[in-house]
Amino acid sequence: MENTSLLDRINNWAKRSVMLKLLIIGILILILLIPTSMLSSLIYERQGVRDEATRDVSSKWGLQQTIGGPMITVPFEERVKNENGNIETVMQHAHFLPDELTITGEMIPEKRYRGIYVVMLYKAKLHITGTFSYPDFGELNLNPADCHLDEAYISLGIPDLKGINDAVNMTIGDSSFSFGPGIPDHEIFNSGISFKFPLQQKQSFNFTLDVNLNGSTSLAFLPFGKETRVELRSPWGTPSFEGTFLPDTRTVTDSGFTAQWKVLQLNRNYPQQGVGNFIGITDNDYGPKEITDSGNEAAFGVQLLLPIDEYQKTMRSVKYCIMFIIITFLSFFFVEVLNKKRIHAIQYLLVGSAICLFYVLLLSISEHLRFGQSYLISSVSTLTLITLYAAYIFKNRFLTLIFAGILALLYGFFYSLLQLEDYALLLGSIGLFIILATIMYLTRKVDWYGETDSGS
């Protein structure tokens, strides 16, 4: 009888213990951290599939392009000691950059599709003009007699040659020179086009050339001139100006953008002439890459952004998942404590699972519809499911309507946080303060120690 009485007392204590219920809720929240972390992995996986689709299409059209040059290269002989102490002659290359470099162009965006994914491509029409001075070999302490002036050539760095649409010709005075594929040395550019240009008359000259180029996502330039000017325009309304230098002037509207850059020799960390890889492109890694990657420290340009990155917004929304679960569980808890409605731990767990499922719905639907539409469909579906389940648990229409209103406010609140990126911290802090104040008010008369029941 005593054992039975002890078990009854323990059972009664467990039923009315508020702290035990909170402990169970805390354990359930920790359990739900597992599917929450899996949500992040799922988003990264879908991002990987999209990026793979982008790489596949871009590899056939043209990758990210960074235009470098044009540049004059002159081979010269250098006498060095070998391992045996004997003097031998090796061939080196001196590189000379233009005095003035002006690039005007237009980026014509193109959307291509691979499955459900959009790939951002472009066609660039570039007009390049500038001025070269006759190379000053004295600046490099070179003897002109050691320089092979008849083997000099002009090169233009282009990372992905498959993107070139038309023949590239440079006009110098009354003469026209056709670029050929490849570059004799890979000290500055690992990929590009060039033509032989024997140096004869010791005078400066002007040049012009046109480049029609396919690329994907971004277009960048290296400031090789003593003064480099770039003017770029496009009918794309969501550009991102990236790299070391922002435009001096820019105009961005829904119908497109125009941008102008002016970069001086003093703004970069290499001179107008040098030997070998004097520009400092690491490991000859001039190629398709992000504008700000190593080796393109002085590069600048523009990236064509898609208006909405559904994965980025979904990832941001997942960060609020645990907060959403906590507030929902607290709402259930208050109904249970204040209105004596017993709710089983499994029922808490099912509601938490429904909240996690909301983010799976949001991710999958946003791959086909706009993010706002996807959020509305997912939230209404989840809200309906949880409300119908709560109606069965509460068996009280008034409590059910209040609970549904709380969930609706939460979905609206978190959507506002996603939209107001600059003010998300401010809005979130105010929202959490209001939620905490509400919890403190509702629990001001809760019998945490169960003294009322004990006394009765």
Q: Which one has a higher pLDDT value, 128 or 313? A: 128
For the chain, the domains span: 14-49+310-455, 63-304
Cβ–Cβ < 8 Å for 310, 17: no
Q: What is the pLDDT of residue 294?
A: 38
| pLDDT over 70, % of the chain | 87
What is the residue whose two structure tokens read 């990929």? Answer: 191
Contacts of 161 (CB under 8 A, 6+ apart): 181, 191, 192, 193
Q: If 0-12 CB within 10 Å is exposed, 13-18 middle and 19+ buried, where does residue 335 land?
A: buried
What is the average per-residue pLDDT within 372-396? 90
Number of Cβ atoms within 10 Å of the Cβ of 269: 10
Contacts of 252 (CB under 8 A, 6+ apart): 237, 239
Q: What is the pLDDT of residue 289?
A: 46
Residue 449: which pLDDT band, with cuts at 50, 70 and 90? low
Residue 447: which pLDDT band, with cuts at 50, 70 and 90? low
pTM for the full model?
0.75
pLDDT tens track for 53-64: 888 888 888 888
Q: Which one has a higher pLDDT value, 286 or 452? A: 452
Quick check: 89 pLDDT over 80?
no
Q: What is the pLDDT of residue 35?
A: 86
Q: Give 92's DSSP letter.
A: E
Q: Which one has a higher pLDDT value, 114 or 224? A: 224
Quick check: 44 pLDDT over 90?
no
Q: What is the pLDDT of residue 153?
A: 93
Rounded distance between C-alpha atoms, residue 37 and residue 17, angstroms: 31
